[in-house]
Homo-oligomer: A and B are copies of this chain.
Amino acid sequence: MNEKLHEIKKMLQEDGYKLTPQREATVRILLEKDKEHLSAEDIYMLVKDKAPDIGLATVYRTLELLSELRIVHKLNFGDGVARYEITSDDEGHHHHHIVCLECGKLEEFEDDLLEEIEKRIESTKNFQIVDHRLSFFGYCKDCKDKPKSERPKMKIE
């Protein structure tokens, strides 16, 4: 069992949850596809290869549990499906999302500027921050100047 998986198992157990084969298979997929933004359906399909008897509801329940424990981030890019990605280990290296509202193209960028804002909030509001989420929405270079008729249809990878 790989190291990260073992760590997740411990996180689950600390909160009284079991690492069932279904949960393990789901986590394995998430670890494997750690740079992708998979929908529940995507994950379900991938997990099914390894554990054919798993149900979609279980995938949803697992993803919700992992979200609660902040083992995964639940993301929303506005196309009507939630997407999930495993939470990265390295603190202070948050990546943010830049989403094109037209074609759905997604870019990422790293920035530590938020740390500064966080510190300010923590001191002025006496609020202990454990996570943040930042997304920018707009129009990418391919879409922003195109006449509307030529714009590609939105499709998120």
Q: Which residues of A contact B (CB under 8 A)?
A: 15, 67-68, 73-78, 80, 82, 98, 100-101, 107, 109, 111, 113-114, 116-118, 121, 125-141, 144, 148-149, 153-154
Neighbour of A138 across the interface among B74, B75, B127, B137, CB < 8 A: B127
Q: How many copies does the complex hold?
A: 2
Residues from chain B with a CB closer than 8 A to the CB of A121 are 98, 109, 136
A136–B144 touching, CB < 8 Å: no
A83 to chain B, nearest CB (A): 10
- When C-beta atoms are compared, the residue in chain B nearest to A109 turns out to be B121
Of the candidates A67, A77, A135, A136, the one having the most CB atoms from chain B within 10 angstroms of its own CB is A136
In the bound complex, how far is the Cα of B150 from the Cα of A15, in angstroms?
Answer: 12
Is B78 a contact partner of A78 (Cβ separation < 8 A)? no
Q: For A64, give the chain B residue with the smallest CB separation.
A: B153
A101 → chain B closest CB, angstroms: 7
Given A113-B117, A136-B121, A148-B15: A101 touches B127 (CB 8 Å cut-off): no
Contact between chains at B134 and A138 (CB < 8 Å): no
**Mind listing 17 A-B residue pairs with CB under 8 Å?**
A68-B154, A73-B137, A74-B78, A75-B78, A76-B77, A78-B82, A98-B121, A98-B125, A100-B127, A101-B130, A111-B117, A113-B117, A118-B136, A128-B138, A129-B138, A131-B138, A132-B137
Assess whether B131 is in contact with A132, with CB atoms less than 8 Å apart: no
CB-defined contacts of A127 to chain B, threshold 8 Å: 98, 100, 107, 136, 138-141, 144
A149 to B68 alpha-carbon distance, docked (Å): 11
